[in-house]
Amino acid sequence: MAQPVLALGAALLTAAGSVWYVPALTDLRAGADRPHSRRDAAAACVSVWSTTGVIAVLLLVTGAWWIPALTAAAGTALALVLRTRAAVRRRREEREAARHWEQLRWRPAAADRSRNGRTAFAVLLTTGLAAAAGTAALLLTGGPGDGPYWLTAAVPAALVGLFLLVAATVTHTHTYARAIRHPRPRGARHH
């Protein structure tokens, strides 16, 4: 096969490879915004496709076969080194990210916050129920002397009280069911 035909094939292959090397160039241009492993993988991709482009030019310029072959070997070796380095760095970054996520999940004060949330909910519930009961009692003491208006004012207060009572029951049931499904580990401290 003639070298110009091979050069044309390598040039077309390089042009088609833009699907891979253009995003890789974008990653390289982003610099520190991308992780090291991603930049190394992008450099490997760019080195492979630039080697293909250089081979296309060398096939047109030189008459010897060994120069494009040596260029292909050098470019492939460089890409393999960069790709291996990217894989090693990626594993290191994944271990580091897993360690950070594990540290974020372990929060010794989480039990205190959930207890404070339950206490705040209980205070709000008790206050709401007391306010609803007090409003209903005041409206009932006013008696039917005000006509049907006292009933219109007492019904929303009773509905608010009923809603708060149902909310407390549902929350308690949900918390109890969750405690059964996800019991605390034996060594966990109770606050």
Check whether 169 has a pLDDT greater than 80.
no
Question: Is residue 62 helix, strand or coil?
Answer: coil
Closest C-alpha among 96, 20, 87 to residue 53? 20
d(CA 163, CA 136) in angstroms, rounded, equals 14
Give yes or no for a contact between 49 and 60, defined as CB atoms under 8 angstroms apart. Answer: no
Q: Decide: 10 and 55 in contact? Cβ < 8 Å.
A: yes
Q: What is the pLDDT of residue 90?
A: 92
Is this structure's pTM higher than 0.85?
no
Question: Is the pLDDT score of 99 beyond 60?
Answer: yes
Predicted confidence (pLDDT) per residue in 103-159, tens digit: 887 655 544 455 556 666 667 667 776 776 676 666 666 665 556 655 666 666 667
Could you report the per-residue pLDDT of 19-65, keeping only the tens digit for each? 888 888 888 898 888 899 999 999 999 999 899 889 888 888 887 88
